[in-house]
Structure 1
Amino acid sequence: MRTYSSIRRRLLKIAAALPFASGLGQLRPAFALAAADTSTASGPKSRVRPGDPDWPSEASWNRLRQQVGDALIEVQSPLATCAQAPDSLVSRQLFSAFQNPYFLRDQVGLTQSFGWVDAWATKPSVYAVAARNANDVAAAVNFARENRLRLVVKGGGHSFQGTSNAPDSLLIWTRKMTDIAVHDAFVGAGCEGQAKPVRAVNIGAGAVWAHVYDAVTTRAGGYVQGGGCLTVGVAGLVQSGGFGSFSKAFGTAAGSLIEAEVVTADGVVRVANACTNPELFWGLKGGGGGSLGVVTRLTLRVHDLPETFGAVNLSIRAASPEAFHRLIGLMLDFYSKNLLNPHWGEEIHLRRDNVLEVRMVFQGLDRAQAKTIWQPFLDAVERAPDDFKVDSSPLSFVATPARTFWAPTLVKRLLGFIQVDNRPGAPNDNVYWSDDRTDSAACWHGFQSAWLPADLLHDDRRQSLADALFAASRHWRLELHCNKGLAGGSEEAIAAAKDTAMNPAVLDAFALVICAAQEPRVYPGIDGHEPNVSVARNQARAIGLAMDELRKRVPEPGSYVSESDFFLPGWQRAYWGANYTRLQAVKSQYDPEGLFFVHHGVGSERWSSDGFTRLD
């Protein structure tokens, strides 16, 4: 039943400390596409920081305040209090509160991730506009452009790579933009007479998926393709592509996007859909958040809800490395013949201690049907009791009415599968999966991912894949995210994903393999919470060795922009493949001066790693 969480990074718990380095954010991309646009762009060659002669005067900030009112706020980080008095009651209470992702969501000076060893650490902006509408966003965009400020956008703030974090900047914070409305017959602006009305949901950019699922599924009986983690921001997930537990059936979140409201670099509030600003619309569908504009509202298709959702939870321990190697082969054989279809999603984990964990979900099947499908695999394992031991329980196969899948039912709460925001007065739909606590205030040791093409499952290649996965598991544990890859998916899901900016490799991938390590609630400079630099670097090296084994079978794998390596060489091709050239054209059209900058985002190769100095 733990797979009710649909957690994308469930095995990332690490018992060691996490480091940071003093030289944060000084890296440059090691690769640029040969096809990249090398023309000289107009615009400022540098941005200003506090203390620079051109930093806006107090009178200038007051003029912005006149436009947005009390939405303009000076930003402070709660971590400053902890650094000053690490043993105080306030500090202890804060580090306890960091387990609650909704607490972090409400802190303008924090992000959901606290950093990445040798890469970045969360630091507050100087000012923020806590935007209530697109007009507030436009005022902030204009002010940043006119005053040459570093601009950063934060919605859910889950970015592992720190893209919603930038010191010395002006922050656009969409936290207050959370309206959700379901429509039975929606047609995009300008598409009247060209598109058939469909059921859809309008969502403010600051909403999180827990609230969207409550509105669309629990209350309205529909299905919207969102993320597995309930506190991830809607706008960021859609712009990165966006996978959920059932993406092989319903596709990506980007593929379900019908329309977006977005503020572009010229401060204009635009509508983008298939009929109006179509190239911008395409770029927003998987081109990465924070590069093309500030999304303020999204409209996503609402799909018909299946009758049932369910989960399979199994743990199989092999008696020896050799037996574990055979178990991986058995699992791949079974998966390729029985699970590579729209019914199945989520994860298979391979651990270094020779344990294979199944944390999968299904849709459109009942419990008996799911168990029947798995029985041949279980029979094969049980025929070798000296080699394999299955850890199962009455909750190994569960099913539920789909409408209650995300509802915080009493049973889920009592069994510890779901947590609630325990702050006084918190909304009832502020819920999150228990496993998400390891990601709250997490600092990353390392994170690498790669799409695994479905042809690796062919009869003549499966054993080679099993060999590579086993060799990789000797270095670090692996997660096969079978829902993040559309091979075996529905025709509709694949067709919609083709019309997005994502790397086309996702269309032919049966899974995204993730190899990662992190630690929650550590931060440099705070006594008692200091990261362990040597441990973190050792784990990062082990992750690299593990992924090297897989790259022997897939020499140039694509990677998922939201879940990938901060230090990834060739990120343009890995994230977007041949689509990167088209994304550059969209960037040049709507943001020719490069106002919007994020680490490894479209056009970021033209700037220094901190986004303050232009390189071309």
Structure 2
Amino acid sequence: MDRRTLLKTALILPLLPLTAKVDAFVTGGGRWLKPGASGWPTDADWNALNRQVGGRLSIPKNPLLDPATREDALAHIGNQFYVGDQPGLTQTGAYYRAWTSTPSARVLAAESAQDIATAIAWARRRRVRLVVRGGGHSYLGASNAPDSLLIWTRRMNTVEMVDSFVPKGAASGSIGVPAAHVGAGAMWIDAYHAVTTVGGRYIQGGGCTTVGCAGFTNGGGFGSLSKGFGTGASNLLEAEVVTADGKIRIVNAFQDPELFWALKGGGGGSFGVITRLTFRTHDLPEQIGGVHGRIEADSDASFVALVAQVLRHFRENLCNPHWGEQIEFHGDRHIDLSMLFQGLSEDEAKAAWQPFLEWVARRPAYTWVKPFWLKAMPARHFWDLAFYQKYGLTFAVPDDRPGAPAHHMMWAGDKEQVGTYIHAYTSAWLPSRLLQDNQVETLATAIVEASRELGFSLHFNKGLFGASAETLAQARDTAMNPDVLDAFALAIIANGGAAVFEGLPGMHRDDAKAQQGEDATRKSYARLTRVAPGAGAYFSESDFFQKDYKKAYWGTNVPRLAAAKRKYDPEGIFAVRNGIG
């Protein structure tokens, strides 16, 4: 209890009747009860709910602490698919000074929208906090909360392609578009497999294959190729959602349009529980390819010049729908390239990089520590585990559990995220004006100064400047901060430590190191954002302690979102950190 609350309580207590009972076991401004409070559900209450939802209610546990599951947990704890299948775990272990992954009081393994509607009505009557989880990747901790009822959509993971989809309520004769119906519990690898590997079309999803489709879209939803195909939110055509009143609604541009708009980037879990999504699909490009390399400068001055040239090269050759992903800048004067391209042949992609390669070759101040590498592959096999295994490629890692779906793969680099202890996490959209000739040197200097505090990445796919007019128009019709339309990149500056799941052998939560990481992150962020004061942030990848978070996430869209919240969740049944309401 903070000092202000304590003082207020001290002033009120003497005025209460002697028979009044002060309930100290509440949270969320008194909205939710905690165990031990008057009115907290009894075992009989929980059992009654369990019968109503067909026996799909249980008590979630940390499998590392249960003797019956510990051995299996230790064998697979580095597997994101395994972690996602455990209702007592989340993909991130903790966030310094913010939250720690904690099992809920009960979990509903929902199989239908009716299951969820029943649970929402029950929890509202009994003042039990609700938590919604699909993939469990929330950095803000929205995937878990102690003393809550977890609505877990993992089992609702179907993916179905349709050739011609028309939203409900559309005018008679409306022309349908190719689409895919995706269950709220599906991960992006499930959608990529069905739509791309099998179906031969493209769906705009996330870079990490185990991210849940629903939370991704609620937060906005950037993928590796968003400059080409937009965001998850901008490709959403319709959704089935259960609102705070327990109603199951089909929402789109014609039915409950304000709720539909709010679901498109208005913040995960803030307006209802999504049970099904329908996304636009696209013609699949012939090829997707990658670019990698590490280049090092021999002095501070040459490093600034290198960064400035990278920015100019991006502006002139890569800031278009064909290119995405990131470039990392490090304080020891090196740059890591990690870019993707689509819709170009390998020769065309090489030609796009040739001016930069020639610029570097003419200057002895620079050394390729890791050689420049560029390669294309058939786009249909980009998320095809069997293809990678056929050629002995190890950067695609299978779900190694017996009986796991054969298509389940994650990128090898994502394994290090499992259970991580986030020390600090910040993001900032950088406006296109910083690429102009009269500002690019200033930006380069800011990047170099910031990288000396802590290295970081510019994610060019997470800013839509350079996208097509059609992509920008669709993104404009979402709840995200309109600043994203003019941002050429999202800077992500973050720091973290090893997994901190309780029960993990050798686990050590080093808070001294976490404080150092937080300090370095904040100093780096402060130096970079001197050139972009008031920069917006990406809801799904942002600071738990984000200042002025509503303006940062949604900009001028805040009043409209607040109105939708008042209409569809007036009691604040759905509450997440840094969310609307």
| TM score, norm. by length of structure 1 | 0.88
1:68 paired to 2:46: no
* SS of equivalent to 1:77: coil
Relative to structure 1, is the Cα distance of residues 373 and 291 closer, same or farther in structure 2, using a 3 angstrom cutoff? same
CA shift for structure 1 position 571: 0.4
1:504 paired to 2:489: no
**Whole-Å Cα distance in 2 between the matches of residues 410 and 306 of structure 1?**
18
Is the contact between residue 241 and residue 254 of structure 1 (CA under 8 Å) also seen in structure 2? yes
Partner of 1:269: 248
Alignment deviations for residues 398-445 of structure 1 (CA, whole Å, 9 cap, x no partner): 101111111114546723110001111111011100011011111101
Is the contact between residue 302 and residue 365 of structure 2 (CA under 8 Å) also seen in structure 1? no
Letter in 1 for 2:303: F
CA shift for structure 1 position 384: 1.4
Give the alignment of 1:220-259 within 5 angstroms: 220-259=199-238
**Whole-Å Cα distance in 2 between the matches of residues 525 and 399 of structure 1?**
43
Structure 1 regions of 5+ residues with no counterpart?
1-22, 27-42, 83-88, 604-616
Give the alignment partner of residue 52 of structure 1, picking from 37, 40, 65: 37
**Whole-Å Cα distance in 1 between the matches of residues 376 and 386 of structure 2?**
14
Give the alignment of 1:151-162 within 5 angstroms: 151-162=130-141
Partner of 2:18: none
* SS of equivalent to 2:65: helix
**Whole-Å Cα distance in 1 between the matches of residues 252 and 123 of structure 2?**
26
CA shift for structure 1 position 44: 8.9
Give the alignment partner of residue 160 of structure 2, picking from 158, 172, 181: 181
Partner of 1:302: 281
Partner of 2:8: none
Is the contact between residue 323 and residue 388 of structure 1 (CA under 8 Å) also seen in structure 2? no
Structure 2 regions of 5+ residues with no counterpart?
6-27
**Whole-Å Cα distance in 2 between the matches of residues 353 and 500 of structure 1?**
40
* SS of equivalent to 1:295: strand
CA shift for structure 1 position 346: 0.4
**Whole-Å Cα distance in 2 between the matches of residues 195 and 372 of structure 1?**
42
1:283 paired to 2:268: no
Partner of 2:568: 590
**Whole-Å Cα distance in 1 between the matches of residues 174 and 215 of structure 2?**
26
CA shift for structure 1 position 456: 0.5
Letter in 1 for 2:132: V
Partner of 2:381: 404
Is the contact between residue 334 and residue 377 of structure 1 (CA under 8 Å) also seen in structure 2? yes
Letter in 1 for 2:201: G
Partner of 2:304: 325
Letter in 2 for 1:323: S
1:484 paired to 2:462: yes
Is the contact between residue 243 and residue 568 of structure 2 (CA under 8 Å) also seen in structure 1? yes
**Whole-Å Cα distance in 2 between the matches of residues 132 and 76 of structure 1?**
20
CA shift for structure 1 position 525: 7.7
Letter in 2 for 1:48: L
Is the contact between residue 33 and residue 39 of structure 2 (CA under 8 Å) also seen in structure 1? yes
CA shift for structure 1 position 192: 4.2
* SS of equivalent to 1:188: coil
Partner of 1:316: 295
Alignment deviations for residues 195-223 of structure 1 (CA, whole Å, 9 cap, x no partner): 42000000000000011000000111111
CA shift for structure 1 position 97: 1.9
* SS of equivalent to 2:93: strand
Alignment deviations for residues 385-404 of structure 1 (CA, whole Å, 9 cap, x no partner): 243335216xx111011111
Letter in 1 for 2:347: A
Is the contact between residue 524 and residue 531 of structure 1 (CA under 8 Å) also seen in structure 2? no
Partner of 1:567: 545
**Whole-Å Cα distance in 2 between the matches of residues 464 and 370 of structure 1?**
29
Give the alignment partner of residue 522 of structure 2, picking from 544, 556, 575: 544
**Whole-Å Cα distance in 1 between the matches of residues 481 and 75 of structure 2?**
39
Partner of 2:114: 135
| TM score, norm. by length of structure 2 | 0.93
Letter in 2 for 1:150: R
**Whole-Å Cα distance in 2 between the matches of residues 95 and 120 of structure 1?**
23
Is the contact between residue 295 and residue 366 of structure 2 (CA under 8 Å) also seen in structure 1? no
Q: Percentage identity across aligned positions?
A: 47
**Whole-Å Cα distance in 2 between the matches of residues 511 and 502 of structure 1?**
15
**Whole-Å Cα distance in 2 between the matches of residues 478 and 442 of structure 1?**
18
**Whole-Å Cα distance in 2 between the matches of residues 403 and 525 of structure 1?**
41
Alignment deviations for residues 525-577 of structure 1 (CA, whole Å, 9 cap, x no partner): 86620211111111110111111112211110000000011111100100000
Is the contact between residue 160 and residue 562 of structure 1 (CA under 8 Å) also seen in structure 2? yes
**Whole-Å Cα distance in 1 between the matches of residues 400 and 118 of structure 2?**
35
**Whole-Å Cα distance in 1 between the matches of residues 195 and 230 of structure 2?**
17
Is the contact between residue 331 and residue 452 of structure 2 (CA under 8 Å) also seen in structure 1? yes
Give the alignment of 1:3-402 within 5 angstroms: 45-81=30-66, 94-193=73-172, 195-389=174-368, 391-392=370-371, 396-402=373-379
Alignment deviations for residues 351-400 of structure 1 (CA, whole Å, 9 cap, x no partner): 1221111100111111111111111101111111243335216xx11101
CA shift for structure 1 position 52: 1.2
Give the alignment partner of residue 557 of structure 2, picking from 579, 583, 602: 579
| Larger mean Cα displacement after TM superposition, 48-57 or 467-476 | 48-57
RMSD: 1.9
* SS of equivalent to 1:244: coil
Partner of 1:458: 436
CA shift for structure 1 position 95: 4.3
Relative to structure 1, is the Cα distance of residues 108 and 525 closer, same or farther in structure 2, using a 3 angstrom cutoff? closer
Partner of 1:36: none
Is the contact between residue 44 and residue 148 of structure 1 (CA under 8 Å) also seen in structure 2? no
| Larger mean Cα displacement after TM superposition, 68-77 or 578-587 | 68-77
* SS of equivalent to 1:447: strand
Is the contact between residue 325 and residue 340 of structure 2 (CA under 8 Å) also seen in structure 1? yes
Letter in 2 for 1:451: W
Partner of 1:442: 420
**Whole-Å Cα distance in 1 between the matches of residues 231 and 562 of structure 2?**
22
Aligned residue pair count: 556
**Whole-Å Cα distance in 1 between the matches of residues 55 and 361 of structure 2?**
65
Partner of 1:7: none
Using CA pairs below 8 Å that are at least 6 residues apart, which structure has the higher relative contact order? 1
Partner of 1:612: none
Relative to structure 1, is the Cα distance of residues 461 and 195 closer, same or farther in structure 2, using a 3 angstrom cutoff? farther
Partner of 2:23: none
